[in-house]
Structure 1
Amino acid sequence: MTSEAEPAGPGPAPADPAREVALPTVSVDGAGVVQVVDYQPGSSYGPRELADFEFFWLLQGSAAWTVHQGCTTVAARPGRSLTLRPGTLLLAPAGAVDSFRWDRDVVSRHAWAHFRVEDPGSLPDPAGWPVVRDLAGAPVLAGLCRYLEDLGAQQSAAARARSDQLLGLLLDLFVRGPFEEPSAAVPEPVAAAVEAVRRTWAADGVRLVGVEELAAAACVSTGHLFRVFRQHYGCGPARVLELVRLSRAAVLLQRSNASLAEVAAATGFANAYHLSRRFRTAYRVPPGTYRRRHATADPVVPLREAGLLPLAHVLAEA
């Protein structure tokens, strides 16, 4: 039995980003969408045959979900069993025969929503749909589930209409994402170095952090740290952090009245001249020109082109 959320295997080929995305349309029987129920320790439910799709998420306790008879969805193969806990979202597919066995020691509470897919929109064939997602890795799904729970407690027509819309959006995000791929994970020395920078900036403000300090935090040599950064991002750690600081400077130039000297101080540069010289290397114009003529430009273009947005996102918490 699997004890955690599993990937559903290779999914459908990525959609052409140039194509317009059409959200699926779903329909729900009954007065409400999301229901919540408690099960006593050791209870079970099923086997049952699903006439439609069901989203299922635990609020407390645990449940063992078992597929007895599969359907067109490959991930819901016969004999598959998952242990579900709070923090996972299950999509039980139409046509499957499944069962649940609840936690032996505590009361289990879960929310669920049954629905039919009237129009799949831009969704791929259900054969390639996943059946489980880790909500920790997809917080937008967790937020939608919580909002659906709130709407399920309301009786207005507006709440019902919004629930139907959000359920279609939840299905689209669940199936299509995009979510971060495991291959996009940050190498361990890089993660340790970036976390050290985040702590330093949170405590002392944004400043230059030397490579020796980064290597010590990552418990590697400076040469090894440079090679890892170079291999994954095409440049060394000093340049990576400089691009992050320059992107912050670009945002301040666009969205503040701070002087160039104040922007330099806020982003860890020695003075306005130093900032101006380094800014030009990344943005191809001096800061003053950028402020006057590029007020609506994307300030993180250098980070995006270098594949550094995930690292910048971590440092944004400083």
Structure 2
Amino acid sequence: MPESLRLAYAWGGTATYEPGATFGPRLLEDFELVWILAGHASYIVDRRELDAPPGTILLGRPGFREAYRWDPERVTRHAFVHFAVHELPDDWSPIATWPISRLMAPGDAVRPLFRRVLDEWCDGTRRRARPTRAVARMVEALLDSFLSPAPTTELEVRPAAVSRVLDWLSCSLDNEPARPVSLPELAAAGAVTPKHLCRLFAASVGRSPMETVRLMRLERALVLLARSNLSVQEVGRLSGFSSPNHFSRCFRSVYGSPPLAVRRAVLAGQVPPSTPLTLPR
């Protein structure tokens, strides 16, 4: 067995799909890495359906019978790289144990490598025979990074409705941070009933939807305190807290100190407190 990856060919590019489009089913004849750039997708493989929000990397393998359902409301864009392998490195795990999907963490190595492979080798129109050693090394690094579990999280932890709600909420807090958000609004964004949404959040996030909203607001407030010249009162208002006293109480209950004390500690060189909110990927 070789010490490095030996490729037969590699090709790829990007594709854009209108809302509601589908692709497949098809029988995959080679390996394919797919990177969801915009829009949500559902990846159906061997009777399993995986949610694939933006930032997802999918790995199809020879023999997979697969299909895609693209976002019903938004344009979906993805990048892809097909490749065939002569031989795998001898120290790699068996193909059957490889993950199918990963939602990449911030700062991951996979997406920059993916972009580099596309830029260096893939023209999106045909198979490129006999990849150079440099391209083979890039594909090997890309695949090896994808297979490494440390910077990634399995996708099936987060239901599609929760993904839709978190995306909607993030957009809402970006554009109208002070606007109140209600449970019926969140349920509408997730296309489920409020009761069902509460069950989904309890199972996947470990908190209620409205508690998640509160913690996301406080997390944004923490960033503004550490990285802006806004007054504490302005930070509270822009984070959705109309009362400065209420903001201070909520902030202290989560981070252990009032907002002004945390700001002074950060200015003095201390690390900001960690957020208790850990959202599933």
Q: TM-score, normalised by structure 2?
A: 0.58
Question: Residue 59 of structure 1 aligns to which amino acid in structure 2?
Answer: G
Partner of 1:289: 261
Instruction: Confirm whether residue 58 of structure 1 aligns to residue 12 of structure 2.
Output: yes
Name structure 1 gaps, 5 residues minimum: 1-24, 29-51, 68-74, 96-115, 154-159, 311-318
Distance in 2 of aligned mates of 1:147 and 1:64: 24
Alignment of 1:113-132 (within 5 A): 117=89, 123=92, 125-126=93-94, 128=96, 130=98
Instruction: Confirm whether residue 260 of structure 1 aligns to residue 232 of structure 2.
Output: yes
Q: 2:117 aligns with which of 118, 130, 148?
A: 148
Q: Which has the higher strand share?
A: 2
Q: What secondary structure does 1:281 align onto?
A: helix
Report how many residues are paired.
218
Cα 1:296–1:170, aligned 2, differ >3 Å: closer, same or farther?
Answer: farther
Q: 2:183 aligns with which of 211, 229, 238?
A: 211
Q: What secondary structure does 2:213 align onto?
A: helix
Cα 1:134–1:187, aligned 2, differ >3 Å: closer, same or farther?
Answer: closer
Cα 1:297–1:59, aligned 2, differ >3 Å: closer, same or farther?
Answer: same
Q: 2:211 aligns with which of 239, 246, 252?
A: 239
State the 1:213 CA deviation.
Answer: 2.8
Distance in 2 of aligned mates of 1:173 and 1:199: 30
Q: What secondary structure does 1:302 align onto?
A: coil
Partner of 2:275: 301
State the 1:262 CA deviation.
Answer: 1.3
Q: Contact 2:158–2:204 at 8 Å: present in 1 too? A: no
Q: What secondary structure does 2:229 align onto?
A: coil
State the 1:282 CA deviation.
Answer: 0.8
Per-residue deviation, residues 210-262 of structure 1 (Å, max 9, x unmatched): 22332344454444433332233232211111101111111111122221011
Cα 1:242–1:251, aligned 2, differ >3 Å: closer, same or farther?
Answer: same
Q: Contact 2:204–2:280 at 8 Å: present in 1 too? A: no
Alignment of 1:35-74 (within 5 A): 52-54=6-8, 56-59=10-13, 65=29
Cα 1:57–1:140, aligned 2, differ >3 Å: closer, same or farther?
Answer: farther
Instruction: Confirm whether residue 185 of structure 1 aligns to residue 189 of structure 2.
Output: no
Cα 1:259–1:56, aligned 2, differ >3 Å: closer, same or farther?
Answer: same
Name structure 2 gaps, 5 residues minimum: 16-25, 32-59, 69-77, 123-131
Cα 1:221–1:292, aligned 2, differ >3 Å: closer, same or farther?
Answer: same
Question: Residue 173 of structure 1 aligns to which amino acid in structure 2?
Answer: S
Per-residue deviation, residues 79-133 of structure 1 (Å, max 9, x unmatched): x3678998444454445xxxxxxxxxxxxxxxxxxxx859x5xx5x345564x96
Instruction: Confirm whether residue 248 of structure 1 aligns to residue 215 of structure 2.
Output: no
State the 1:151 CA deviation.
Answer: 4.8
Cα 1:217–1:168, aligned 2, differ >3 Å: closer, same or farther?
Answer: closer
Q: What secondary structure does 1:58 align onto?
A: strand
State the 1:181 CA deviation.
Answer: 1.8
Cα 1:301–1:259, aligned 2, differ >3 Å: closer, same or farther?
Answer: same
Cα 1:90–1:59, aligned 2, differ >3 Å: closer, same or farther?
Answer: closer
**Root mean square deviation of aligned Cα:** 4.4
Q: Contact 1:65–1:83 at 8 Å: present in 2 too? A: no
Instruction: Confirm whether residue 169 of structure 1 aligns to residue 141 of structure 2.
Output: yes
Partner of 2:248: 276
Identity percentage over the alignment?
A: 27
Distance in 2 of aligned mates of 1:162 and 1:27: 12
Cα 1:293–1:275, aligned 2, differ >3 Å: closer, same or farther?
Answer: same
Distance in 2 of aligned mates of 1:296 and 1:171: 38
State the 1:269 CA deviation.
Answer: 0.8
